Structures are given as C-alpha cells and as structure tokens.
Structure 1
Amino acid sequence: MQVTETLNEGLKRGYTITVTAAELDAKVQEKLIEAQPEVEMKGFRKGKVPMAMLRKQFGERIMGEAMQDAVDGAMKEHFEASGDRPAMQPDVKMKDGEEWKEGQDVVVEMTYEALPEIPDVDASKVTLERLIVKAEDAAVEEALANLAESAQNFADRRKGSKAKDGDQVVIDFKGSVDGDYFEGGTGEDYPLVLGSNSFIPGFEEQLVGTKAGEEVKVDVSFPAEYGAEHLAGKAAVFECTVKAVKEPKPAEVNDELATKYGAESLEALKGQIAERLEAEYQGAARAVIKRSLLDQLDTLVKFELPPSLVEAEAGQIAHQLWHEENPDVQNHEHPEIETTDEHKTLAERRVRLGLLLAEVGRKAEITVTDQEMTQAVMNQARQYPGQERQFFEFVQKNPQMQQQLRAPIFEDKVVDHIVSGANVSDKEVDKDGLQKAVEALDEM
C-alpha cells in the first residue's frame, strides 16, 4: 500500500492511495477464510465449501468490502502518521472510476482541508469585568405584586354594575345549532373571565356590558377547524343567564399568598424571590462576560481558517437571516441565497472561535458528562409535555441532536476554564446597569 502526496497548499491536502492487486486479493482471501466455517451450500457440509466456490459465490461482494477496508485503513494510518485532522469529511474517489477491473491495482484520490495549528491561549492576557447585581427590595416587592396579581380573586361588583373586560361573569348557558341543543353546549355557574379568549371567538365580547340577572342571546360561529366535526363552521346561539359580575382583586401579600406558592411564610417567599432574581442576574452577567471574553480571544489569537468551513458557515448564516426576514417561508423552496462580505466576516469569527474553544477544551481534557447530558435532555423534553419519553428516544437515536445538546455545554465549560485563568475583577451595578450591558450585546 502506498500513499503519495499530490497537493500541499496552505491547509489543502491531496494524496493518492494505491492498494496493489496482490494486497487486495490477500484481503479477500483473508475474509473468505474468516467466513468459511459458517458457510453452508448445497452438496457440502457446513464449513467445508471449497475456497474456489466461495470466491465465485461471494468474491464480488467481499471484494468491495476488502477495497473499502483497505482504503479506510490507509486513511487511518495516514492521519495517525501525519497528525492531520481534516476540517470536514475528506473527498475520496477512485482515480479510474468505472474503468477499474479485478486484478488491477486500486488507486484512490483523497483531498481535504487540514485543521490549522492553533496557538495556545494565554488567559493571563485577558482582562474581564464580572457584573454583580443584588436583588433590591424594590425588585422583590415588584415581583411579589406580580405574584399577587396572578393569584387574584374575584369579588362581586356593586349591584347593577356592567361587566368589563377582565371581569369575571358567572353564567348559565345553553347552546343550539339550527334550533337543536347540542351535547356539551350547556353549563351552569360557569366562571368566565372576559377577555381570556377561553370561549369561541366573539362569545366573550357580547357579554361585556351585561349586568347580573340579565338574559342574553350570544350569536357565534364555530371555527372551520373546530375539533368537533358536526359543529365546525356552523352558526350557533347560546342562551345565557348572567348570575354574577365580579371584579378582579389582587391577592393580599401575606403568609397565605406565600403558602400558595409553596413557601412557609412571606419572609421565606421573599427569600426565594431574591434568590431567583439573583440567579437571573447572574445568567445575564454571564452573557456579558462571555461576550467580552470572545471579543478579546477573536483579536488575541489568529490562525489560518479552512475555507470550506468558512464558506459553509457563511451559507448557513445567510440562510438563517433570510428566513428571519421572510418568516412566511417555512420550507426551502426559495431563490438561491447569496452570501455577502458581512456574512463571511461573521462566519470567520464563528469558525475561528469555534476551533479555538474546541482546541482549548481538547488540550484541557474537558468533557461533557453523562449526567450533564441527561439534564440537558430533560430540560429540552419539558418543552414537549406528555411526549417526554418519545423525545428521549428521539435523542438516543439521533447523534446530530445529541451533538446539538452537547455543544453549548462543552462551550460553557471551556469558557469557564479560560475565565478561571483570566484577570477578573468584580463590579457591583444595579439592575438598570446590567440591563444596559445586556442591551449593548445586541448592538454589537
């Protein structure tokens, strides 16, 4: 087996791999000998089929396997010996193509772009500022007020008051289509919050302005896509009796409210809110310090980039931005999207930082644990209530999805590793200061 270099320009590499006919034949013979004990054929006992018949029966298929094994082995040996790591899957094709015949040498052409030599990161040259934000009393009180509002109760309005949007009306109702009452169209003492859009479109609006004791006929049409086929798209009349009109009253901020949210007391609830707020602030502050780190790394470390990776990333960026600007197009049936210099510049940054972080993580032996992956899958599965098990099975069978979940965890661990060796100073700011820093990220 012979490997000959044909191209070495920048990161581009080219080689021809020659597997002699004798080597290939020996590989075929080896596979036939390995398979012979298990082969059964009419007229012969198991394991006693002559080698000549085995070659005639299975030679063509095994020849293909042997050829693939030989080329794969040669590629593996080449990468181990050269130390090259291809940026993308190498392009491999037979030199003679369909003209090759059994008994001839196999000559394969392999081309690829090698990953560049990436210099070490001197974290001591990185200077970062970590924003520290405490949960102020005003923010805790605001969060408490929001909790009280969401846990609101309803109290009877003054007699004769008209119902407004946001009020709760207690109604009895009976619905009919073409004069016939239909199953599931009746209810008693039903508490309906006007403006909640929990009933058929147009229903709640017709109860605005009603008073307790009034009887109202509500004319509506079921949506064409309504779940019950016998009602879909049909006009209906609901005979309603308004039994009460109630206005929303925020729950009182006290121990009882705390109990509703699983806290032992109001003070305990305040403590939980403060912890949650500070966790949110830490998440935002982390985004700020991470951007600062990446900006500095982008200028601190320079190396040649594989053109194929930059081109692929620029195309992906252009495609994503096009869909964001054309949200109505959900498929890929659209004109060819051309990349711009702006797309290429952003792609170069992403590729450079991606390769750099990957190399730092490799040298530092940073890995994503099974526990971290399981947690990531669980977090993602919560977005599909009732289908968590199917999502777990989907991830188990989909290596690409596993990589999508693993990549951000790995990146964050590498970022933490670099930050741990950088010059980091803490700066206390208020919530508004943090907000401005976060907003500045979108402007960059």
Structure 2
Amino acid sequence: MQVNETLNEGLKRGYAITVTAAELDAKVNEKLAEAQPEVEMKGFRKGKVPMALLKKQFGQRIMGEAMQESIDGAMAEHFEKSGDRPAMQPEVKMTNEDWKEGDDVEVEMSYEALPEIPELDMSKIKLEKLVVKADDAAIDEALANLAETAQDFKARKKGSKAKDGDQVVMDFVGKVDGEAFEGGSAEDFPLVLGSGNFIPGFEEQLVGVKAEEEKSVTVTFPEEYQAEHLAGKEAVFDCTIKEVKEPVAAEINDELATKFGAEDLAGLKAQIAERLEAEYAGAARAVMKRGLLDALDKMVDFDLPPSLLEAEASQIAHQLWHEDNPDVQGHDHPEIETTDEHKTLATRRVRLGLLLAEIGQKAEVEVSDAEMSQAIMAQARQYPGQERQFFEFVQQNQQMQQQLRAPLFEDKVVDHIAEGAKVTEKEVSKEDLQKAVEALEDAE
C-alpha cells in the first residue's frame, strides 16, 4: 500500500492512496478463510467448501468490503503517523473509475487539518469579577412583587360593578335543554374574571354584574370538550352573584412568608437575598466570561481551516436573517450571502472554539451523564406535557446531544481557565451590573 502526498498548502492536505491488486486479493482470501468454517453449501460438509468455490460464489461481494477496509485502514494509519486531525470529514474518491478485478485501487484523499494550538500561560490572564450585594431596596422590591403574585381579594363597595380581574363569588346551576347536568352546579364559587378558567365567553358575560344580582349566562361548549355528552352543546348557567371583590396585594408579613415556604418574614427576606445574589452572580459570570474570551482572542493567533470558517459564517448569516425575518419558519427563502461582518465574527468563534476544545481536552474536562440529564430536563420543560417524548428524542439524536453538550463543555473549560487566571473582585451596584450586561447584548 502506498500513500503519497499531493498537496500541502497551509492547512490543506492531499494524498494519493494505492492499494495493490495483490494486497486486495490477500485481503479477500483472508476474509474468505475467516468465513470458511461456517459456510455450508450443497454437496459439501460445513466448513469444507473449497476456497476456489467460495471465491467464485462470494468474491465479488467481499471484494467491496476488502476495498473499503483497506482504504479505511490506510487513512487511519496515515492520521496516526502524521498526527493530523481533519477539521471535517475527509473527502475520498476513487480515481480509476474504470477499475476491474486484477487492477490496483487508486484513491484520492483530501482534507483540512486542524491547526497546532499554542500553549497558554493562564496566569497571565487578568479578569475582573463584579460582585453585587442584595441591598434592602432590592429585597423590598422583590417582596412587593411576591405580594402581588399572592394577591388577596376584598369586597368592593355595595353596588359596585365587577371589572376584569375582579373576583366574583357566586352560586350557579348549568342546564342543557332545560335539564341540569352533572358537574354544572356549585355554591360560593370564587371566579376571577379574565382568568380563562371557565368555558370561553362565560367570564366576559359577568363583567358589570353586582352583588345580589342574578344573571343568566349562555355559552356553547367547545366541540373538543372532554365530556363528550356536552361537546358542542349550548348551555345556560343561572348565576346568583353573592360578592364582588377587587384584587389587593397581600400584606407583607409572617403569613405571606409561610405561603412561600419560609418560617417568618425574616426568613423570607434571607431567601430572597440569596436568590437575588445568585442571579447577580450569574450575570456577573456572563460578564467575566466575555472578558475572558476577549482576552483569549487577543492572546492567540493561528491558521484556521477555511471550511470551518465558511460553515460558521454561513450559519451566522442564516441565524441573523431568520432573526430579522421571524415570520419565515422554514428554509424556503432566497440564498443568504455572507458579509465581511459575518466572516469576522466566524473567525473569532472558530478560533476560540478550537482553543477551548484543545484546552478542555488537555485538562480532561468532561460533561457527566448527570449534567447532561439536567440540561435535557431543563430543555424538556419548554414542552409541557411532552417532556418524556423530548427526553427520548434527545437520547436517540446524536446531533441534539452535541448541541446540548457543547455549551456545558465550554462553560466548564471557561471555569478551568478562570481558576488559573488572576481574578480580582470589584463590588458594584445592581445598576452598574445591568449596564455591563446590556453592553454584552449590544456587542453581540
């Protein structure tokens, strides 16, 4: 077997691979010999079929397998000896298309090699970590928001009309064709108007009612209603309004705290402070990560595989086009051209991606099964009621797994680099942190 270099220009590589007819024949004979003990053929005992007959019967099929294995073996041996790592799947094609049995097999292989990544002295990286403490004003604001979500209702003045968002306490009896139906009646039922908890059209008809008023509400059950005997039927609900209540924020006290799982108000405030500071830390980490990536981008420079740059620039252009054209969901759109801006951004992303991958590999950074499961479940929550199907889809889809694993791996590598860098903490206000985060978004 011969492997001769035909191209060595930058990161581009080309090789001519020749598998001689003798080598190929030997490979075929080897595979037939392996199979011979298990072969049965009329007129011969198992394992006693002559090689010449086996070759005549199965030689053509095995020849194809032998060709593929020989070429794959030559490629694997080449990469092991050269140390090259292809940036993308090598392009392989047979050059003697008029090949016939007895001829050598001639193959052309071309690829772009991944570049040599320079070693980094991480101690030379200087980073600033913003620190924000949860002050009383932020805690009080969060408490007020919680009180809004835990709203109570208090009775409106006698004679007040119900508004959207009010709670109406009522008795009602539902009838279809004049007959009350099971599950269609209730007493002292509290209904928040506009909540969408009742049949479409029901709550809207109660806007404007007053306490002690009687109101007939006529609605039609949806065709796909869960109770088949009511689906698509018109129903009349005779409602007796007992109270009309307006929403009010819950009082900020120990009782509110217990609703959110705290022992008392002081305990709730401590929980809020902890949650706020965790949010601040997450935002500060994003700011520091950008600073780290900017520092790495300035520290290193190496040749990049043109195919990776082209693919990344195309993906960036495609993504940005869809952001500007959100109504277009599929790919039935004009061809999207890449600009110099797309190529500049692609250069940064590819360079940093290769650098982080190299550092992570050398540091033996790995994403655990538990971390992957957490990431999958976090994504699955975006599809309520279909979490199991999503989980199974990801398990069977290697590309989707890689999409979820990549950011986890990147974050772990960033943390590894930050551990070796010189990090100084700087205490700032919540507003200053917000400005830093907004600056990140503007730079994207």
Normalising by structure 1, we get a TM-score of 0.92
Shift of 1:188: 4.5
Quote how far apart the aligned CAs of 1:90 are.
0.5
Map 1:428-439; keep pairs closer than 5 Å.
Answer: 428-439=427-438
In the superposition, relative to structure 1, how do residues 144 and 307 fare at CA in structure 2: closer, same or farther (>3 Å)? same
Aligned residues: 443
Q: Quote the residue 2:306 is aligned against.
A: 307
Q: C-alpha separation between the residues in 2 aligned to 1:219 and 1:337?
A: 54
Deviations 1:144-194 (A, max 9, x none): 222222122223323222112221112344567788877766555432212
Relative to structure 2, which stretch is displaced further, 1-10 or 59-68? 59-68
The equivalent of 1:39 in structure 2 is: 39
- Equivalent-residue separation in structure 2 for 1:105 and 1:318 (angstroms): 45
SS where residue 324 of structure 1 aligns? helix
Q: Bigger CA drift: 21-30 or 237-246?
A: 237-246
Q: 2:74 matched to which residue of 1?
A: 74
Deviation string for 1:265-319 (max 9, x for gaps)?
Answer: 2222221111111111100000001111111212221111111111111111111
1:113-160 deviation per Cα after TM superposition (whole angstroms, max 9, x unaligned): 111112122323322110001111221122222222212222332322
1:25 CA displacement: 1.1
Q: Name the residue aligned to 1:109.
A: 108
Letter paired with 1:100: W
**Residue 277 (1) aligns with residue 276 (2):** yes
Structure 1 stretches lacking a partner, 5+ long: none
When residues 106 and 227 of structure 1 are mapped into structure 2, their CA distance, relative to the original with a 3 A threshold, is farther
Post-superposition Cα deviations, 1:323-350, rounded to whole Å, max 9, x if no partner, equal: 1222222211222111111111111111
CA–CA distance in structure 1, aligned partners of residues 130 and 375 of structure 2:
26
| Aligned counterparts of 1:293 and 1:408: Cα–Cα separation in 2 | 16
Q: Which residue of 2 aligns with 1:28?
A: 28
1:432 is displaced (CA, Å) by 0.9
**In structure 1, how many angstroms separate the alpha carbons of the residues matched to 2:317 and 2:230?**
46
The equivalences for 1:145-224 within 5 A come to 145-173=144-172, 187-218=186-217
Q: Is 1:286–2:285 an aligned residue pair?
A: yes
Task: Map 1:274-423 to 2 at 5 A.
Answer: 274-423=273-422
What is the CA distance between 1:440 and its match in structure 2? 0.8
The match for 1:443 is 442
- Code of the residue aligned with 1:361 in structure 2: it is G
* Distance in 2 between residues matched to 1:52 and 1:189, nearest whole Å: 93
SS in 1 for 2:108: strand
Q: Which amino acid aligns with 2:88?
A: M
Cα deviation, residue 234, structure 1: 7.8
Q: Which residue number corresponds to residue 7 of structure 2?
A: 7
Distance 1:190 1:32, change over 3 A: farther
Quick one: structure 1 residues 337 and 182, their matched pair in 2 at CA, closer, same or farther if it must change by over 3 Å?
Answer: farther
Q: Relative to structure 1, is the Cα distance of residues 422 and 236 closer, same or farther in structure 2, using a 3 angstrom cutoff?
A: same
CA 1:168–1:109: 2 relative to 1, 3 Å: same
Cα RMSD for the two superposed structures: 2.5
Larger deviation, residues 226-235 vs 56-65: 226-235
Separation (CA, whole Å) in 2 of partners of 1:320 and 1:192: 45
Distance (Å, rounded) in 1 between the aligned partners of 2:40 and 2:426: 78
Report the CA distance shift for 1:222/1:31 in structure 2 as closer, same or farther (over 3 A). Answer: same
Structure 2 partner of 1:63: 63
Question: Quick one: distance in 2 between partners of 1:221 and 1:89?
Answer: 60
The one-letter code matched in structure 2 to 1:162 is: K
User: Partner of 2:257 in structure 1?
Assistant: 258
| Greater Cα shift, 109-118 or 51-60 | 51-60
Q: Distance in 1 between matches of 2:329 and 2:403?
A: 21
SS at match of 1:439: helix
1-structure distance, mates of 2:90, 2:298: 30
Cα distance between partner residues in 1 of 2:57 and 2:181: 72
CA shift in 2, pair 1:234/1:386, >3 Å: closer
Deviation for aligned residue 1:224? 7.7
Instruction: Point out the more displaced range, 376-385 or 172-181.
Output: 172-181
Report % sequence identity: 77
- Relative to structure 2, which stretch is displaced further, 132-141 or 360-369? 360-369
Alpha-carbon spacing, 1:303–1:232, altered in 2? closer, same or farther (3 Å): farther
Report the AA paired with residue 347 of structure 2: E
**Are 1:93 and 2:99 matched, yes or no?**
no
Structure 1 pair 372–179 and aligned structure 2 pair: CA distance change class (3 A)? same
| SS of match in other structure, 1:419 | helix
| Cα separation, 2, equivalents of 1:121 and 1:178 | 81
- The answer to whether 1:132 aligns with 2:131 is yes
Are the structure 2 counterparts of residues 115 and 247 from structure 1 closer, same or farther at C-alpha, using a change threshold of 3 Å?
same
**1:184, 1:321 → 2: CA distance?**
52
Change (3 A) 1:429 1:352: same
CA distance in 1, matches of 2:203, 2:232: 18
